[in-house]
Amino acid sequence: MIDGSRLKMVKGSQYNLSYRRRRDARTDYGKRKRLVLSGLPRLVVRPANKHVTVQVVEAKATGDLVLASAHSSELKKYAWKGAGGNVPAAYLTGRLAGYRAKSKGIEKAILDVGTRPVSTGSRLYAAMSGAVDSGMEIPHGDDTIPAKERLRGEHIAAYGKLLSEKPDLYQKRFATYLKHKLKPEEIPAHFDEVTEKIAHSFEKKA
């Protein structure tokens, strides 16, 4: 049992209780301040297990204002049959968000990856790559852009080809793809088709 008489309230200018979101590792306020001071809208990429969300956000005194956004579930409108949370889907979602931003006159942004550790070839950089290919200007190093082969899902196709020699495991691992009549080996070509459909849909609006 805790003796309340021995507890002391911590006081003084040397003690600062961090913001709740910082304590929960949801917001890096130092990084956020630098992004806001850039004067550019932020390209916010938030990947989850099955989906990816990409938003173009502007900081306001009253909170963040979403200027344009896209969710990987929307890719179905462009006949995407693949998963919604992988690298190709992240690229396509970023491209869709980029086109929507540009249609509203937003030409530039700065990448905001939040507090997540980021590695080259990740979904976060795949989404940024999609936004860049839409025509947006986003500062980045060339080494952060995932290889075109990875964006197209060639690594998934190669894995599918390898597992095709083991029918039971192949069916289990790619059940979702096969349910939509898409073989994993066909993902790169399917990716190209969907990319073209997204681009074409905005060309018609221009």
Residue 49 lies in a domain: yes
55: left (phi over 0), alpha (psi -120 to 50) or beta: beta
Query: How far does the chain reach from its first CA to its final CA, in angstroms?
Result: 70
* Per-residue pLDDT at 25: 46
* Per-residue pLDDT at 38: 60
Q: Report the CATH number at residue 41.
A: 3.30.420.100
* Per-residue pLDDT at 131: 98
Residue 149 lies in a domain: no
Place of tokens 């289990």: 172
What is the spatial distance between Cα 77 and Cα 126, in angstroms, rounded to a whole number? 20
Could you list the residue range(s) of the whole structural domain that residue 89 is in? 25-144+191-205
Nearest to 66 by CA among 43, 90, 91, 47: 43
Buried b (16+ CB within 10 A) or exposed e, 162-189: ebeeeeeebeeebeebeeeebebbbbbe
Instruction: State the 10-residue block means of pLDDT for the chain, 206 residues long.
Output: 48 49 49 62 95 95 93 98 97 98 97 77 94 96 91 97 96 95 97 98 82
Residue 52 lies in a domain: yes
Residue 6 lies in a domain: no
* Per-residue tokens: 2: 């805790």
- Helices of type H across the chain: 20-23, 29-37, 87-103, 123-133, 148-151, 154-163, 167-173, 175-179, 187-205
Residue 69 lies in a domain: yes
Residue 166 lies in a domain: no
What is the spatial distance between Cα 45 and Cα 54, in angstroms, rounded to a whole number? 5
Nearest to 112 by CA among 29, 23, 19, 32: 32
Residue 17 lies in a domain: no
Measure the CA dihedral 143/145/148/151, to 10°.
Answer: 140
Q: Rg of the chain's alpha carbons, rounded to an integer?
A: 21
What is the spatial distance between Cα 169 and Cα 173, in angstroms, rounded to a whole number? 6
* Per-residue pLDDT at 153: 98
* Per-residue pLDDT at 121: 83
Residue 176 lies in a domain: no
Contact 130, 169 (CB under 8 A): no
Number of domains in the chain: 1
